Amino acid sequence: MAIETFYRDSWVEIRLDAISHNIQKLRKHIPKEKKIFAVVKANAYGHGDVQVANAALEAGADALAVSLLDEALRLREHGITAPILVMGWIRSKDAPLAAAHDIAVTFFQKEWVQEVKRVELPCPLKLHMKWDTGMGRVGIRTLDELESLLAELDDDRLVLEGVFTHFATADEEDFVYFERQRRLYKDMRAYLEGVWPKPIVFHSSNSATSLRFPGQQEDMLRFGISLYGLYPSPVVKAERPIELQPAFSLHSSLVHVKQVKKGDCISYGATYCAEEDEWIGTVPLGYADGWIRQLQGIDVLIDGKRMPIVGRICMDQFMVKLDQPYETGEKVTLIGRQGNEEISMDEVAAYLDTINYEIPCIISSRVPRIYYDSGELIEVKNAVTS
């Protein structure tokens, strides 16, 4: 593993021991025979796909799930041999590439299967059929569609390995829609098991379902957001079915500290003007790093205390109102803990009126990721220079 380095004062810390912890907690929470997909799409929700995938597999995950064929190929290029499922749609002409790398792919269209049957496959292709039981995104919705899809699987090179569906409301207070999806899934499953002679792996649970309904009838589950130590929603967080540890924190340091006079203004548009003589610190992180302009006004942690961002956030820098002068180099924590204070991913998400999933995804690859395992530095990833 390459120990890279970087020359800026902002970084993300990823605790791989938190990833292991979360897998182990889940493992204890669910029936023994159930297998776990670690969902590492979107660069492992911004945490780093290869690092998280390896940590999750070592901790007991059985397989990996991603959205894109490109993401799956990247994992294979990095020597990962565990089963991988691409949960999104791939082009039929790319099926040979998936087969060659032993990557299972998702299907739900008859025409797609017909196209794949016409291309040259280097070896059998593993397929997971997607059922749309209420998400309304991709998948088949009726028994008629199921029948016509099964009829197309009359080719030895196509192996129906799995069937899956995805819940739209599993993280909510109200279970009516969730139960409706569950019933549809159960009925379609009963039908399929009646007509299909070979074993099939069924999987339906995302993090919310895995945490709240660990007994959900299925062979595997797909563990995404909670792998990273985040609860799927405030409702599930309040229930706290298992204790999770967040893996991601974001830090920077003050690169400039100055006193401004009453009436002096800060940043583009001069939207903030000091009400008295104030100490202002400059932090070298901005919207190009994913610390977007709507975050103006949110607190950061310095010296274990909360201090607000003042003035507009620039592309590469923003300013903070300090409670006293600090030395340059003083640590600034944007997501994470300092002493007894914490700015959680959930707080940042709430500030932006969005969900925690979105936050690590938007912290751009310009911010280096430093990997720790139980306090020990494992790897530094700097996408700017690599």
Ligand X SMILES: *Cc1c(COP(=O)(O)O)cnc(C)c1O
Active site residues: 41, 268
| 366 has binding-site annotation | no
Binding mask 265-294 for ligand X (x = CB under 6 A): ------------------------------
Q: Which of 18, 160, 211, 225 binds ligand X (CB under 6 A)?
A: 225
Nearest to 205 by CA among 85, 34, 23: 34
Q: Is 22 in the site for ligand X (CB under 6 A)?
A: no
Least separation in angstroms between residue 44's CB and ligand X is 11
> Would you say 137 is a known binding-site residue?
yes
Residue 39 engages ligand X in binding (rule: CB under 6 A): yes
Nearest one of 233, 235, 211, 213 to 223, comparing CA atoms = 211
Q: How far is CA 163 from CA 47, 95, 152, 160, 260, in A?
A: 28, 18, 16, 8, 62
Going by C-alpha positions, the residue among 379, 82, 376, 359 that lies closest to residue 246 is 359
C-beta closer to ligand X: residue 205 or 333:
205
- What is the C-alpha to C-alpha distance for residues 250 and 229, in angstroms, rounded to an integer? 15
Question: Nearest distance from residue 268's CB to ligand X, in Å?
Answer: 36
Provide the minimum distance between the beta carbon of 245 and ligand X in the complex, in angstroms, as a whole number. 16
**Out of 224, 281, 360, 368, which residue is the one contacting ligand X (CB under 6 A)?**
224
Q: How far is the CB of 299 from ligand X (least distance, A)?
A: 27
Spell out the residues 6+ positions from residue 260 whose beta carbon is closer than 8 angstroms to its own: 266, 274, 277, 278, 280
Identify the residue among 43, 133, 206, 252 touching ligand X (CB under 6 A).
206
Give which of 350, 286, 269 is closest to 320, Cα–Cα. 286
The region of 202-210, 240-248, 260-268, 363-371 touching ligand X under the rule CB under 6 A is 202-210
Minimum CB distance to ligand X, residue 375 (Å): 27
Site string for ligand X, 158-177 (x = CB under 6 A): --------x-----------
Whether 280 contacts 309, CB under 8 Å: no
Side chain identity at residue 100, one-letter code? A
Structure tokens at 1: 């593993």
Segment 70 to 129, residues that bind ligand X, using CB under 6 A:
87
Q: Number of residues in contact with ligand X, rule: CB under 6 A? A: 12
For residues 95 and 363, give the distance between their C-alpha atoms in angstroms, rounded to a whole number.
32
Query: Residue 155, Cβ neighbours under 10 Å: how many?
Result: 13
Provide the residue count of the chain: 386
Beta strands in 97-136 (DSSP E): 103-107, 125-131
The phi and psi torsions of 212 (rounded to 5 degrees) equal -90, -30
Residue nearest ligand X, CB atom distance: 224
When binding is defined by CB under 6 A, the residue of 48, 232, 241, 281 that contacts ligand X is 232
Residue positions in the annotated binding site for substrate? 137, 315
Residue positions in the annotated binding site? 137, 315
Residues of this chain that bind ligand X (CB under 6 A): 39, 41, 87, 166, 206-208, 222-225, 232
